[in-house]
Amino acid sequence: MFGLLRHLFKFQFLFVVAAVLGGIYHTEIRQFLRRQTDNYLDQAGQEASIPLAFQAADDVGTLFTPAELAKFNGEEEGRPLYLALLGSVFDVSRGIKHYGSGCSYNFFVGRDASVSFISGDFETYDPETADDVLTLKPDDLIGLAGWRDFYQKDYVYKGRVIGRFYDEKGALTTYHHKFLQLLEQARDAKRQVEELRARYPGCNIEWSEERGTRVWCTTTSGDGKERSWIGYPRKLYSRGNKSFQCACVPDAELDEIDAGGKVARGDAMLKPYDNCEPQARECFYRV
């Protein structure tokens, strides 16, 4: 299982490495931006309460400073192995063959490296950014929530880290509330896209070096179930994502979608393909 997950991490990392290489960040700048962001979130938190759709166990458990958590990194014989995710601490000692010193996932032990669960970067740890998840994509926030549920189910919950997600009393910080708000928005957007995918089935897709990516619709494209109409390819976007999926749209709805170049449905959006005729059964594009 963990071998497969490592390959998935590497696969995700290929998509984010270009963005990382796009800029050089200095510690002083990061510290300044973090202070400004935290101040802004604290002010925002005074103005409105945010409903909690995802939260840690009611039991606060032990409160750790980052320095205290770092002692449980596997370097001292006989000490248990703890890792933190979204500020919650779990005992992963029973997974020592994965989390022990020199093992693949020892990078996560003794710290909160939530971002690396998405980026797949197991080499570089920066305490200023390692748990700063608010800039991640909506789908990535959902993924992190899933990882936390996994650890909650399979490992022993030990407590909370004092810092970005929890304060000195173990209460949720404004930053944590903001994360929960964005997570709920991400889940809403995902539900809306799933509803659209049910309404507008997916396209067939193939790639060739000569023509690039080809998308086209048939009476069985998407879920493979036979339907009475073929449809026309359109790009389907969701909140916060620049990437898109191909969806087949029936003839009766083309005018609405193509009027003005796009149609928005909640947090999802349908757009025509560039350089493709409105009623073409197939479209080509390059990325």
pTM of the predicted model as reported, rounded to 2 decimal places? 0.63
Tokens representing 234 are 């359109």
27 lies in the same domain as 102: yes
63 lies in the same domain as 81: yes
CA distance 60 to 201: 45
User: Which residues span the domain enclosing 116?
Assistant: 2-191
**Residue 68 DSSP label:** H
pLDDT of residue 246: 93
pLDDT of residue 65: 98
260 lies in the same domain as 153: no
pLDDT of residue 75: 87
Tokens representing 187 are 């889940």
Residue ending a domain, choose from 191, 225, 252: 191
Residue ending a domain, choose from 191, 213, 233: 191
187 lies in the same domain as 204: no
User: Which stretch of DSSP H or E encloses residue 4?
Assistant: helix 2-21
Instruction: Report the CATH number at residue 87.
Output: 3.10.120.10
pLDDT of residue 260: 52
Pick from 268, 241, 171: which is nearest to 15 by CA? 241
Query: How many domains are contained in the chain?
Result: 2
pLDDT of residue 197: 77
pLDDT of residue 43: 45
150 lies in the same domain as 214: no
Residue by residue, pLDDT tens for the chain (287 residues) are 444 444 444 444 443 333 333 443 334 434 444 444 444 444 444 333 333 334 445 689 999 999 999 999 988 888 999 999 999 999 999 999 999 988 889 999 999 999 999 999 988 899 999 999 999 999 999 999 999 999 999 999 999 999 999 999 999 999 999 999 999 999 998 888 788 777 889 999 999 999 999 999 999 988 788 999 999 999 988 766 678 889 999 988 887 776 655 555 555 678 889 999 989 999 999 98
164 lies in the same domain as 205: no
Pick from 109, 125, 128, 108: which is nearest to 117 by CA? 108
CA distance 187 to 192: 9
